[in-house]
């Protein structure tokens, strides 16, 4: 009887300690991510969601420690959101419709590569100065397409001029509606490149800063940061062409299925989720390089992707996406880049 009471006390103390740790973590989470809630009832609900997410993250990382996963998860700014809320809030930014076929017809040059082209084992355009630092955070606005388009053009502009200029995603959101883009309700990179060509330029981020909401077009031809003359689409689903493009052209805009909870909380390592769809595409970002992770037992090929959810998400704003894994997450479906 005394032994039973002892064990009950131990379990009770352990649970109390765990609860105290979770409350401490919750308070840190609110402070770091500047979270505020309308009332006590809302905060209690968000705390329950937070606890469930933390438990899932801890379980995944325990399995990763046992060698069952090639990537780890972490508590980030989305930890107080259910997965359904995350999908509805963060994955509404890509509009792929019949207009996509029209844009492909507008592409002024088809992607071609020589059969004997040399493909380096690894490429990282960040090291060559062609990628701006991660300060972009689209917030609760479906503007991934705009950041993906500006990121790809920033790279091409740098490679042509030697100057790295941060370009205005807000300019695209406010002004490219005639080309099929819908601001916070979504858009497409190719439509953005077409707008920039017709508009004879896009403003700098410094002159036209991001607001995370739709606004009136305020394009100023005096503060243009870059121009393009069209765009090129890569062959759909062809990862060899995608690798050649990254190696020989520069950063490439792509889109993926980001709807898995594993993507929501990604932290580090090579993202490899078999549940990822190759056809249901809902999020875009730019690929700035590729490489291979190796240790004594594992070899994983990956792309280096720059996201637009701030530097507190992922690996300082980046994710390593599986490469040559049967087009996992549909990463090679709609690759493109602007012509400058």
pLDDT per residue over 278-326, tens digit each? 999 999 999 999 999 998 788 999 999 999 999 999 999 999 999 999 9
Active site annotation includes 116 = no
Bridge partners, 300 (sequence order): 293
Q: What is residue 113's predicted lDDT score, i.e. its pLDDT?
A: 67
pTM comes to 0.90
Active site annotation includes 307 = yes
Q: Decide: residue 5, CB within 10 A, 0-12 exposed, 13-18 middle, 19+ buried.
A: exposed
CB atoms within 10 A of CB 25: 15
Active site annotation includes 2 = no
In the block, residue with structure tokens 């994955």: 91
Question: Backbone dihedral region of 23: left (phi > 0), alpha (psi from -120 to 50 degrees) or beta?
Answer: alpha
CB 283 within 8 A of CB 305: no
In the block, residue with structure tokens 């606004």: 215
Distance between CA atoms of residues 221 and 219, nearest Å? 7
- Percentage of the residues of the chain whose pLDDT score is greater than 90: 81
Active-site hit among 307, 327, 329, 333: 307
Q: What is residue 338's predicted lDDT score, i.e. its pLDDT?
A: 97
In the block, residue with structure tokens 């002004």: 175
Distance between CA atoms of residues 104 and 252, nearest Å? 16
Q: What is residue 16's predicted lDDT score, i.e. its pLDDT?
A: 41
For residue range 99-125, list pLDDT tens digits in order.
444 445 455 566 766 667 888 999 999
Nearest to 152 by CA among 299, 27, 326, 334: 334
What number is the average pLDDT over the span 131-151? 93
What number is the average pLDDT over the span 321-333? 97
Q: What is residue 117's predicted lDDT score, i.e. its pLDDT?
A: 80
Least confident of 162-171, 226-235, 288-297, 328-337: 288-297
Active-site hit among 53, 83, 144, 327: 144
User: How does 81-104 read in b/e, with b if 16+ C-beta sit within 10 Å?
Assistant: bebeebbeebbbbbbeeeeeeebe
Please tell me which residue, 15 or 87, carries the higher pLDDT value. 87
Q: What is residue 15's predicted lDDT score, i.e. its pLDDT?
A: 41
Helix H or strand E segment including 300: strand 299-306
Q: What is residue 141's predicted lDDT score, i.e. its pLDDT?
A: 93
Distance between CA atoms of residues 262 and 65, nearest Å? 16
pLDDT at residue 1 above 60?
no
What number is the average pLDDT over the span 80-89? 94
Q: Enumerate the H helices of the chain as residue ranges.
A: 2-32, 40-65, 83-90, 98-106, 144-161, 169-175, 189-199, 239-248, 261-264
For residue range 195-220, list pLDDT tens digits in order.
999 999 999 999 999 999 999 999 99
The SS3 call for residue 336 is strand
Parallel, antiparallel or unpaired: strands 299-306 and 318-322: antiparallel
List, as one string, the DSSP characters of 121-181. Answer: S-EETTTTT-S--S--B--SS--HHHHHHHHHHHHHHHHHHS----B-HHHHHHH-GGGT-
Active-site hit among 276, 283, 329, 333: 283
Parallel, antiparallel or unpaired: strands 123-124 and 230-233: unpaired
pLDDT at residue 192 above 80?
yes
CB 181 within 8 A of CB 150: no
Distance between CA atoms of residues 299 and 301, nearest Å? 7
pLDDT at residue 68 above 90?
yes
């Amino acid at each position: 009887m005394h032994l039973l009471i002892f064990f009950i006390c131990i379990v009770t103390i352990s649970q109390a300690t765990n609860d105290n740790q979770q409350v401490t973590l919750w308070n840190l989470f609110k402070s770091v991510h500047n979270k505020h809630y309308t009332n006590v009832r809302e905060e209690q609900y968000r705390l329950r969601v937070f606890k469930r997410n933390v438990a899932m993250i801890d379980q995944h990382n325990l399995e990763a420690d046992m060698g069952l996963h090639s990537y780890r998860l972490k508590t980030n700014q989305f930890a107080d959101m259910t997965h359904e809320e995350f999908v509805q809030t963060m994955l509404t930014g890509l509009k792929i419709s019949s207009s996509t076929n029209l844009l492909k017809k507008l592409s002024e040059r088809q992607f071609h590569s020589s059969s004997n082209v040399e493909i380096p084992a690894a490429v990282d355009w960040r090291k060559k100065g062609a990628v701006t630092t991660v300060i972009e955070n689209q917030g609760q606005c479906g503007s991934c397409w705009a950041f993906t388009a500006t990121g790809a053009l920033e790279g091409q502009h740098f490679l042509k001029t030697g100057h790295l200029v941060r370009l205005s995603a807000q300019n695209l959101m406010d002004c490219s509606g005639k080309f099929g883009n819908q601001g916070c309700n979504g858009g497409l990179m190719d439509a953005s490149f077409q707008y920039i060509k017709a508009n004879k330029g896009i403003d700098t981020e410094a002159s036209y800063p991001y607001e995370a909401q739709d606004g009136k077009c305020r394009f100023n031809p005096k503060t243009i940061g870059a121009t393009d003359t069209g765009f090129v689409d890569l062959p759909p689903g062809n990862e060899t062409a995608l690798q050649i493009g990254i190696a020989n052209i520069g950063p490439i805009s792509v889109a993926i299925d980001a709807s898995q909870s594993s993507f929501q909380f990604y932290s580090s390592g090579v993202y490899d989720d078999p549940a990822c769809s190759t056809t249901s595409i809902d999020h875009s970002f730019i690929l700035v390089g590729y490489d291979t992770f190796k240790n004594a037992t594992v070899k994983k090929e990956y792309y280096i992707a720059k996201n637009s959810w701030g530097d507190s998400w992922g690996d300082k704003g980046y994710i390593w996406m599986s490469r040559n894994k049967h087009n996992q997450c549909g990463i090679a479906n709609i690759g493109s880049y602007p012509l400058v």
